[in-house]
Structure 1
Amino acid sequence: MASKDSVFASPSMVIIALCTLSFFLEMIPGIGDVYYSIFYFDPIYLVTRPWTLVTYMFLHNGLFHLLFNMLVLYFFGTALERRIGNRQLLAIFFTAGVLSAIGYTFLSQPIFNISPGPMVGASGAIYGVFAALTILEPDIRVYVYFVPMKLKHALVLFALFDFLMVNSSDMIAHTAHLSGLFVGLYMGFRIKKIEENLRPGYIGRW
């Protein structure tokens, strides 16, 4: 029986393990291309391939893409699950991930005049985790490219970067990042409000 402190007690670590395993499957000659083609997300096939709203999160386009996402998830995901519990962490991760893909599909063209193409990666889901943690623990100290700052300032910096780069040709789904961020903000505020209502002696205002 696994102990409570094992890696399997942490949903963030399980997601990291699954993404890593998925990346190795992508690398297998003759199998990887088929595996990738089945599970990546393409807005054109949203209705006919609905499972890709979830599966695309476990695919990554290169080792650096995987390492960066998993490193961020390791620090922010484990911190958030300790703060709110495993179930709520999973709810935020998958809700932000799914709605990132939907936001990327329906907001890119009318708002930013971008034609959304195929997409892979857990970035949108991780942005949701990042944003929710920021609402709950805004003053956590983090390092962004070796520069120390509060978590709330880091979130503003990343959000500003994505907004400014949204029309760039860098092959990054910035609208998906921003969609995940807003989902995380909303869910973080909801959790914070519930926690405030549960405090002893709390008096709600009309």
Structure 2
Amino acid sequence: MFNRNTPYESRSGATDRIKSSVSASPSMAIIFLCVISFLLEVVLLSAAPGLGALYMNAFQFDPGSFLTRPWTLVTYIFLHTGLWHLFFNMLVLYFFGTALERRAGNKQLLAIFFTAGILSAIGYTFLSWPIFNIYPGPMIGASGAIYGVFAALTVLEPNLRVYVYFVPMRLKHALLLFAIFDFLMASSTNLDMIAHTAHLSGLFVGLYMGFRMKKMDERYRMTRYIGRW
């Protein structure tokens, strides 16, 4: 939307504002990197399919080889299978990530995002087979990390109003709905090609980190309150 109180900017001015937004917001920086990575995927796969496949294989997470390629615990987050996969992940990160930044700060957002991303990959590796009898194949996407952000924000702001497929509900109810869906659909991972155990792993990491932040915040508030007496 346009702000009537904001004068028209030149292209260089708009570019400066975009750079400022990316540098000020970790969520926007992550979105920017994911978009750049996706464009690189598309260009490579279109112009040089062999090089594109090499790019994907080098940075996707493979449970069978993550000990020899530990960087993939992070790099898989920035790869996506298609435009809609990228769009929905980045849309959710934009709303929930920036909200968590305002509530907890940039450093906490980064800590939650990458911790959830790494541990969701590890959870996907070690929980899929023994619990759901699923062989975990290669995985890409920021969903597990975003679930961590989603869950942490829910702990801090459980009654925040959101829209899920145009239906208004509280954030805590939305998280419960998605958790139930992923749990029920976990056994169909090989059919729908969605790493539901990674989603659940990221969700539990986010809940844990969210409750820790909430407890620390309450302790800090109590200390300040007692200090006034």
Structure 2 gaps of 5+ residues are 1-15
Poorly superposed stretches of 4+, deviation over 4 Å: 2-5
Aligned pairs (5 A) from 1:191-206: 191-199=213-221, 200-201=224-225
C-alpha separation in 2, matches of 1:63 and 1:164:
26
Q: How many residues align?
A: 202
Task: Tell me which residue corresponds to 1:155.
Answer: 175
Task: Tell me which residue corresponds to 1:43.
Answer: 63
Per-residue CA deviations over 1:134-192 (Å, capped at 9, x if unaligned) read 00000110000000000000000000000000011110000000000000000000000
Counterpart of 2:38 (choices 13, 16, 23) is: 23
Task: Tell me which residue corresponds to 1:174.
Answer: 196
C-alpha separation in 1, matches of 2:34 and 2:20:
21
Does structure 1 residue 97 correspond to structure 2 residue 117?
Answer: yes
C-alpha separation in 1, matches of 2:20 and 2:168:
29
Task: Tell me which residue corresponds to 1:60.
Answer: 80
Deviation at 1:37, TM superposition (A): 1.2
Over the aligned positions, Cα root-mean-square deviation in angstroms equals 1.5
CA contact 1:196–1:202 (8 Å) conserved in 2? no
C-alpha separation in 1, matches of 2:142 and 2:151:
14
CA contact 2:162–2:169 (8 Å) conserved in 1? yes
C-alpha separation in 1, matches of 2:40 and 2:52:
6
Counterpart of 2:206 (choices 184, 189, 198) is: 184
| AA at the equivalent of 2:33 | L
Task: Tell me which residue corresponds to 1:127.
Answer: 147
TM-score when normalising by structure 1:
0.95
Percent identity of paired positions between Structure 1 and Structure 2: 74
Over alpha carbons, which structure has the higher Rg? 2
Counterpart of 1:14 (choices 25, 29, 43) is: 29
- Structure with more helix by fraction: 2
